[in-house]
Structure 1
Amino acid sequence: MIRTLGFGLPRLGPHREYKRLLEEFWKGGLSKRELLQGLEDLEAVRVRDYRTRVDLYPAGEMSLYDPMLDLAVALGLYPVPAGDLEAYFALARGKGALPLRKWFGTNYHHLVPRLPERPAYTPNPAWFPYPVGQGANPEGLPTLIGPYTFLRVAQNPPEEKGVRAHLEALLEAYRALLAPLAPQGRPILLQEPALGLEEAEAHLPHLLDLYRSLAEAVPLVLLSYYLPPAPRVLEALAQLPMRGLAVWFHPHQPPPALAPGTAPVVLAVEGQGVWRTDLLALRERLLPWLEPLLDDGREVILAPKAPLFHLPWRVSEPLPPHLEGRLAFAEERLEELRLLKGLLLGQGDGEAAAWYTPPPIWDFQPSSPPPPRPPREVRHQAQGALGLPRFPTTTIGSLPQTQQLRELRLSLRSGRISPEAYEAEIQRAIQENIRLQEELGLDVLVHGEPERSDMVEFFAERLEGFYTTQRGFVLSYGSRVWRPPILHAPPRRREALVLRETLYAQSLTPKPVKAILTGPITLAAWSYLPEGVGFGEAVLALAEALREEVEDLKAHGIRVVQVDEPALLERMPLRDQDQPGYVRLVQEAFHRVVGGLGPGVQVHLHLCYSDYRALRPFLEAMDPDVVSVEGARQDPAFLSELQGLPLGIGPGVFDVHSPEETDPEEMLRRLEVYLEAIPEHALWINPDCGLKTRSPEEALRNLRHMMEAARRLRARLAAKEE
């Protein structure tokens, strides 16, 4: 028997219903009852989509904000009473909110709980099954993130000797949460992407005890994805009596010998890319691999290789001819599972043949890299001409995106205003941004990015080789969304990227204005890449296009260039053996972009929401003049990893993803802690990240407080020196 399993259908919904519900509730426009009912209605839409295309699907996917936060509350790490949404959302976006990190190398940001020092958990049954989606989906498979993944992605994962104790404590907590579901007999879908991490093999004895005990309590389907577990891990797990086990399809490696009654969950179709699957070719490879299992009478379950929330909901807009009929978003992936099942049962050859169009040839050869930048001592001396004070102040790039600016861009797209009128309004916004920053007293200014809808989409629209969708939204965190562009051909500069706006801003002030570019790693990581083209190939092609822009900035006398690479650590390979090659790729790409700049141009690097313990090798290889990082939600102990680096460092002093106000005293305390690891001559003062998501009032309050904290810090240290 062959069945299909879909999972991870975007909770954003086909029309961004999730985003609107949350934001309206946060603004006070919806009651708690209306919010929960709206989410239940959205879950019903998702369930209908699952039902029409696949045989099996989860229950309990509809998070109130983030599944890791849901689980942390359900496990009792944070005492949130039943129905107390204010306490729940405070953990996500209030003062003292949990840190954000990237989820297994993707651009989904998850909240990071802190484990108890003593391995003990007090399950809160009011929060599992989670408070949304159960009524709409009584036949779905209850699902939750597994204990091993929860342990590995926490803020403070235990040392080796503490792993068993925490897993044993988590086992008891999971058994308590799942006990009410056991009489129903529904399989439990346990999602464990951390099984693909290298350390899982060392933890295998503990994991076998964990899953054996869980499988005795409830029918268990163990689902790993993103990275296949090590062969020894998979072989050992295959011996446990479970209802289902995720199995990666490798044509030249037979499936593992599974325990009787265990169904292989074959990860067969793409879950993160957007190009349609050649289903006929897949059948030719997959059918011989599956035949021994099917001949044995074993059930086989077909599934995607990753949760589908990394994709937009569906292809729902007219496409250019070269993309027509070639894309598959989340709904189309479910359709692929339906078609593949039919093919394996001997049906639907014609429909599958019409499904797929081969890709065009990727024709790109990188040019010779530029020479290395001058030595740091030469650069430091030349950049003295910038005239920056002790503890220079700046922002990361974007200033608040008002509704007026969003409507202005929409008017340009729809033809209601001319490009000339649009440009005049953008210049007016830049004037206001420069005037505001001068009034605040900032030292290095930004133009504020009023013309940019998104830090990747904006560049994709000015580069040939990209297609930007109008409706292809994907959830990044909370209610924040972006539209990943689709790279389908070698990128080339169609027009200037940032030159025009940067030069105009610089003409308004004697202070240096940063030219801000999204870097090639992030452009590649947050776009859908061409079929058959590797990540490194795409990165170097994008670096070439950015290099042209930097040459123009240099020719026009711009004195500060910032490269934004928030995806730098996100894309670091999860396996140690692949990491040195990635560092070399990052180094080459960065130097291709900025290597031609003279010593007097100050090069900044910005990244955020990552585990900075891995950052040092990249900074040593890239050799920027200044790096700014998110710091307000981080334990400042991470700065000890950066001690001794000869560059400026700007850890953020306030959290840009929270509407809460941070007073000058709190910022000053943070700065003083930062100075325990950063020399006085190297400390920069800035927010965590761009201010695009904040209202003008929220941003202005915190920037004023930041400047007051900088003034007090300068005065305090000057007084000590007298």
Structure 2
Amino acid sequence: MSINERPALSDLISSNLGYPRIGGNREWKKALERFWNGSIDESELHSEMKRLRLEHLSKQQDKGIDLIPVGDFSYYDHMLDTSVMFGLVPERFNYRPAGPVPLSVYFGIARGQKGATASEMTKWLNTNYHYIVPELANAAPVLTENKPLQAYREAKQELGIEGKPVLIGPYSFVALSKGYDRKDLATIVRSFLPLYTRVLSELAAEGVQWVQIDEPVLTTLFPAEDLDIIQEAYETLTQAAPALNIMLQTYFGSLEHYKHLSTLPVQGLGLDFVHDDGENLQHVLQHGFPAGKTLGAGVVDGRNIWRSDLKAVAALLSQLAEQTSPTQLIVQPSCSLLHVPVSLEAEQKLDIELVHALAFADEKLEEIAALTAALGERNPSALAQVEQSADAVARFNSSAARVQTATDMAALLAKEPQSRSVPFAQRRAIQQDKLKLPPLPTTTIGSFPQTAEIRKARLQYRKGEWSAEQYRTFIQQQIKEWIDIQEEIGIDVLVHGEFERTDMVEFFGEKLKGFAFTQNGWVQSYGSRCVKPPIIYGDVLFDQPMTVEETAFAQSLTSKPVKGMLTGPVTILNWSFERNDIPRSQVALQLALALRAEVEALEQAGIGMIQVDEPAIREGLPLKKEQQQAYLDWAVQAFLVTTATVEPATQIHTHMCYSEFQHMIQSISDMDADVISIETSRSHGELIVSFEDQVYDKGIGLGVYDIHSPRIPDVAEMLSMIQRALRVLPSDLFWVNPDCGLKTRTKEESIAALRQMVLAAQAARDALAVSN
């Protein structure tokens, strides 16, 4: 049935859930970094941030969005915003909230400051966005300011926009926080309800029509006993502001306990119909949708960059309308558009066939507006957009780019080794005999500072202003300088520094087949850190060696071992915009086979240590428990396919960071890396507790300092971290390293911190020698 044959949904309206903060040219990032380095003052920062906020709101208004979110804009992170709005400043910052929290404290919580470590940073559900984890230990919540109300007033006064304030819901906020016993969750949620009721009451008094309360944890497998406190919370909020329409918004999957949660006393329920594996639709078809309640239908993908087939989406919306009514339906993205680039407007170099298959944030807003107009007003232009989108998607999916070399992965892998030739215990003896490393060997994670000089040289080379030989000479000079620095500091296992690499995923994607790259496709990862994910559009294939030249050169400069550095297959997958026409597991295995060729090339060049980083392996873990083991199985398989063919004497390392790893220790062990390094300093060593109950029998380094903070910890602090780990981990398997690569730090910060780290390692060795 065509759109014209379906009943018109004349009362359909459009909505957005959140817009990218960074600006079309990363103006947000640049303003923050100018403020942090002292180039602009606080008033100038506020002025630039306001300009960006209003520009983003105007753009959504111009695109025809009816319900425009306000309050989704942040100076760093929306969870941090909620924390300071409720006065949650950790005690170590020595600040007792009495009104709005100053920027110095706000950024201190995020980045650390002298005498106070930053709060933990971890992945936002299963995305590559990182949030600052609220700390509830000894917390006494107090409302310092009504941020959603301020955002609403600004949009109305400046632009005449009747905005939809956005805030994190009480259940998700507490569930995603730390510093309390899980059995006390209901009590803690109750302690926040008076603050939420005040926020909502003030919004209602201002005349706000709709408020979006995000509860993403409701799509995870949360305990059924929490339903009581969720029910209580929303009864309380609704009673406090009965005139206010609450849209309870969920995303990243299907709703757990649909029958119960769909009857909560709220006026709207937002569901993700893209990343739900069809389950939300089945819930609605099987159980219906409550009469009188509005369904926020998340039908445009807010997490990936592929254009929607709007004919298929229109059919889905019509199906949903049959279970509700046009007056109960809102067209919106599956989640905030924070996770996709801003606009396709700057993409002048991509293949035109690929461009026609893409949609960034602005284009997704156009899709939402077109669907609303096509199904409602029967607008001819919108109807044409719907038809064009279906044709473009079909044309690209049938193109040579996607079907040229389709492979039966199961048959291919059946012929390939997927485990090391000898077990770890035997490999360890062989490797130690060859390497003769001291106890508690020191190393770094891979990258060294990417200075302005390095970035300028890379740009000159890319523009053709430098020859390949000029650029090679420059990179070799950087490598030699840092090999010398590492040797002088006394680090045991060295790295070449990755000066030739823009980004740990983009670099490899540029050298493999099946990838495309944007000019301006930036997204926020954490704080001001933005990444430009490559696009995996077709089959991934190895072309030629990617890292051998620089690594072999570094090794020629020293008698100490130099690690080869690769990004692992699952991280490349999770940090790319992957194709959506074949299973993710198949893309991961294509990547694994391509990277295996690089591992073998490094080994053949005489590199005896190879690090295959998988920092993003945890973030791809499905939110549903029943789907997690299957993901872990193919993720582990992909790592083993990458590394299994090396000789026993070749030591395989890997690295993971900024996620919750406590429940996947066994899968990490199954990866069979000889050494793994995991972030622990920002979580204040909490992962160490996991090893009190779970045995880890391979080499391991738990990061002893936080590289994302400019703060340099002293020797005693690092030594304390090492000694705490050694209470539960064998000293003969333990390594000492930073949390992550040093790309974002300055040269001076890096050298100072590494000196302290080496001194801490030596002090720990001395203590071991005495105890033995």
TM range (shorter): over 0.9
Deviations 1:211-235 (A, max 9, x none): 12212223211110111112xx333
Q: Find the counterpart in structure 1 of residue 3 from structure 2.
A: none
Query: What amino acid is aligned across from residue 293 of structure 1 in structure 2?
Result: T
Structure 1 spans left out of the alignment, 5+ residues: none
Offset at residue 354 of structure 1 (A):
2.1
Q: Distance in 2 between matches of 1:334 and 1:509?
A: 55
Offset at residue 612 of structure 1 (A):
2.4
Structure 2 spans left out of the alignment, 5+ residues: 1-10, 90-95
| Map 1:472-487 → 2, pairs under 5 A | 472-487=521-536
Does residue 242 in structure 1 map to residue 289 in structure 2? no
1:357 to 376, 382, 393: 393
2:635 to 586, 595, 606: 586
Does residue 182 in structure 1 map to residue 231 in structure 2? no
Q: CA contact under 8 A between 1:62 and 1:132: conserved in structure 2? A: no
Q: Across the two proteins, how many residue pairs are aligned to each other?
A: 715
Offset at residue 63 of structure 1 (A):
1.0
**Distance of aligned partners of 1:434 and 1:545 in 2 relative to their CA distance in 1, 3 Å threshold:** same
Q: Find the counterpart in structure 2 of residue 690 from structure 1.
A: 741
2:704 to 653, 662, 670: 653
Does residue 85 in structure 1 map to residue 119 in structure 2? no
Q: Distance in 2 between matches of 1:127 and 1:20?
A: 24
Deviations 1:90-134 (A, max 9, x none): 10001311001000110001011122357x522222656468983
**Higher mean displacement: 373-382 or 249-258:** 249-258
Offset at residue 631 of structure 1 (A):
1.6
1:427 to 468, 476, 486: 476
**Distance of aligned partners of 1:369 and 1:154 in 2 relative to their CA distance in 1, 3 Å threshold:** farther
**Distance of aligned partners of 1:110 and 1:379 in 2 relative to their CA distance in 1, 3 Å threshold:** same
Q: Find the counterpart in structure 2 of residue 706 from structure 1.
A: 757
Q: Distance in 2 between matches of 1:144 and 1:225?
A: 14
| Map 1:385-404 → 2, pairs under 5 A | 385-404=434-453
Q: CA contact under 8 A between 1:43 and 1:133: conserved in structure 2? A: no
| Map 1:314-713 → 2, pairs under 5 A | 314-315=343-344, 316-318=346-348, 319-345=350-376, 346-347=378-379, 348-355=382-389, 356-358=392-394, 359=397, 360=399, 361-362=402-403, 363-366=406-409, 367=412, 368-373=415-420, 374-384=422-432, 385-642=434-691, 643-713=694-764
Q: Find the counterpart in structure 1 of residue 189 from structure 2.
A: 167
Offset at residue 492 of structure 1 (A):
1.1
Deviations 1:587-623 (A, max 9, x none): 2111101100111111111000011212312222112
- TM-score if structure 1 supplies the norm length? 0.95
Offset at residue 248 of structure 1 (A):
4.3
**Higher mean displacement: 622-631 or 637-646:** 637-646
Match of 2:122, SS? strand
**Higher mean displacement: 204-213 or 41-50:** 204-213
Q: Find the counterpart in structure 1 of residue 253 from structure 2.
A: 227
Q: CA contact under 8 A between 1:280 and 1:349: conserved in structure 2? A: no
**Distance of aligned partners of 1:221 and 1:371 in 2 relative to their CA distance in 1, 3 Å threshold:** closer
Match of 2:735, SS? coil
Match of 2:616, SS? coil
1:110 to 107, 131, 134: 131
**Higher mean displacement: 351-360 or 44-53:** 351-360
Offset at residue 205 of structure 1 (A):
2.1
Q: Distance in 2 between matches of 1:422 and 1:511?
A: 26
| Map 1:4-403 → 2, pairs under 5 A | 4-53=14-63, 54-78=65-89, 79-80=96-97, 81-82=99-100, 84-94=102-112, 95-116=116-137, 121-125=141-145, 129=149, 134=154, 136=158, 139-156=162-179, 158-159=181-182, 161-186=183-208, 187-199=210-222, 201-218=224-241, 219=244, 220-230=246-256, 233-249=257-273, 250=278, 254=284, 257-294=288-325, 298-315=327-344, 316-318=346-348, 319-345=350-376, 346-347=378-379, 348-355=382-389, 356-358=392-394, 359=397, 360=399, 361-362=402-403, 363-366=406-409, 367=412, 368-373=415-420, 374-384=422-432, 385-403=434-452
Q: Distance in 2 between matches of 1:350 and 1:271?
A: 23
Q: CA contact under 8 A between 1:82 and 1:127: conserved in structure 2? A: no
**Distance of aligned partners of 1:440 and 1:484 in 2 relative to their CA distance in 1, 3 Å threshold:** same
Query: What amino acid is aligned across from residue 27 of structure 2 in structure 1?
Result: E
Query: What amino acid is aligned across from residue 598 of structure 1 in structure 2?
Result: E
Q: Distance in 1 between matches of 2:520 and 2:75?
A: 23
Offset at residue 173 of structure 1 (A):
2.0
Offset at residue 200 of structure 1 (A):
5.3
Deviations 1:632-653 (A, max 9, x none): 1113242232353111211111
- The alignment yields a C-alpha RMSD, in angstroms, of 1.9
Q: Distance in 2 between matches of 1:599 and 1:343?
A: 62
Match of 1:298, SS? helix
**Higher mean displacement: 610-619 or 462-471:** 610-619
**Distance of aligned partners of 1:288 and 1:87 in 2 relative to their CA distance in 1, 3 Å threshold:** closer
Q: Distance in 2 between matches of 1:130 and 1:628?
A: 43
Q: CA contact under 8 A between 1:283 and 1:340: conserved in structure 2? A: yes
Match of 1:211, SS? helix
Q: CA contact under 8 A between 2:69 and 2:164: conserved in structure 1? A: yes
Match of 2:552, SS? helix
Q: Distance in 1 between matches of 2:497 and 2:417?
A: 30
Offset at residue 32 of structure 1 (A):
1.0
Offset at residue 139 of structure 1 (A):
2.0
Q: Distance in 2 between matches of 1:292 and 1:572?
A: 32
Match of 1:615, SS? helix
**Higher mean displacement: 655-664 or 364-373:** 364-373
Offset at residue 177 of structure 1 (A):
2.7
Q: CA contact under 8 A between 1:668 and 1:710: conserved in structure 2? A: yes
- Aligned-pair identity in percent equals 37
Q: CA contact under 8 A between 1:564 and 1:606: conserved in structure 2? A: yes
Deviations 1:61-99 (A, max 9, x none): 111211111111112221445251111111000131100
Q: Distance in 1 between matches of 2:418 and 2:718?
A: 40
Q: Distance in 2 between matches of 1:145 and 1:535?
A: 30
**Higher mean displacement: 359-368 or 693-702:** 359-368
Q: CA contact under 8 A between 1:102 and 1:610: conserved in structure 2? A: yes
Offset at residue 281 of structure 1 (A):
2.5
Q: Find the counterpart in structure 1 of residue 92 from structure 2.
A: none
